[in-house]
Amino acid sequence: MDAHKLADLERLVNQLKFDATQKANHLHDLIEERLLTHFEEIPKVADATYKACKEWHEKHEELLKVKSA
């Protein structure tokens, strides 16, 4: 992988980590501040958080493989 593609992948991994963290914070805030009034939102927010974390994990693993090659 050339340096430009590696830099693009690193930026993507960083962006995905940021997005996953934002979703996790949203889930945390929902549970901490609005649990009893907005509990119906938990599955949707939790699913979005899970998907964002999984996407980050997959790209992070790809990045690690590229860097170790």
pLDDT at 43: 98
Task: Enumerate residue ranges in the chain where pLDDT < 50.
Answer: none
pLDDT at 69: 87
> How many other C-beta atoms lie within 10 A of the C-beta of residue 55?
16
> How many Å apart are CA 47 and CA 24, to the nearest integer?
10
pLDDT at 29: 98
- Asked if 58 and 5 count as a contact pair (C-beta separation under 8 A), the reply is no
pTM to 2 decimals?
0.91
Taking the mean position of all CA atoms in its chain, how far away is CA 18?
6
- Asked if 53 and 13 count as a contact pair (C-beta separation under 8 A), the reply is no
Domains of the chain in sequence order: 3-68 (1.10.287)
pLDDT at 38: 97
pLDDT at 1: 83
